[in-house]
Amino acid sequence: MAKVFAPAKINLTLHVTGQRNDGFHLLDSLVVFADVGDRISVRLAAANKLDVTGPKAAGVPTDGSNLVCKAADLFGLPVHITLSKHLPNAAGIGGGSSDAAATLLALAELSEDSRLPDVSELGADVRVCLMRQAARMRGIGETVDHVADLPPLFAVLANPGVDVPTPDVFNALTDKANAPMPKKLPRWKTTKALIEWLATQRNDLEAPAIACAPEIANTLQSLRALPAAKLTRMSGSGATCFALFETQDEAKKAAAALQNCQPDWWVVPCHFS
């Protein structure tokens, strides 16, 4: 059996810079990974099978529509996969893509074959999820460059439990040709400097996502009200939002306070890398 952790993918920035003739949107995004996520385990079997367990298993498909199954089919080694689901489904934090990437890594370990298939047909985020470290993702996800020496970031993730279909958010985006991040990213020496720079950037999908699901605005407002919160933003196409803090202790205390006020939300403190 092989077991691999599937971390949450967080878009610290998400600039939509254009749209191709085939409808795919062009992005420029600074991506990090959290120390919270799902778990994948695989073992050899006669045919591919997927079981989904865990606190967030409800509603997660176990058929061929799941990216985990598509990743296994692509690799070509029949296995029994168990996905322990701890991240909210369809929440803008790359859960499905990270699960697919973790499945491929587990299959490579199980088969002792480090060669991975072309993952372009699995969606825009799988390539960066295979990297599993801070990166700049551009184009439709095909260009991924590691971002070295990122200062530590401590955060609170919050999801109000609303469904925000990604196509609806992109359709609600009126301006699809926005400025990218600077050609050369700064070398941030401190957490404070990184947060201050992030405040000058944006997530272009935040406003259209709020138009689709007003609960996101309430989530961001609740995060802004947390003591010591330095910056709040939505990740991906929503509905998960984050608040950034300078210390781990601040993030943990803030998460406990928010969970107490919003017991029905998914709220976790975490560290980004």
Among 195, 113, 124, 92, residue whose Cα is nearest residue 153: 195
Q: Which of 9, 56, 70, 85 is catalytic?
A: 9
DSSP code for 119: -
Cβ 222 vs Cβ 158: under 8 Å:
yes
Locate tokens 């609740």: which residue? 222
> Angle at Cα 96 formed by Cα 92 and Cα 100, nearest 5°?
145
- The contacts of residue 204 (CB under 8 Å, 6+ apart) are 14, 15, 16, 173, 175, 178
- Give the C-alpha distances (Å, rounded to integers) separating 35 from 5, 114, 138, 148, 225: 9, 24, 23, 18, 24
Q: What are phi and psi of 150, to 5 degrees?
A: -70, 130
DSSP code for 122: G
9 an active-site residue? yes
Q: Which of 28, 38, 99, 125 is catalytic?
A: 125
Q: Is cis: bond before 239, omega within 30 of 0?
A: yes
Cα separation, 225 vs 218, in Å, equals 11
| Catalytic (active-site) positions | 9, 125
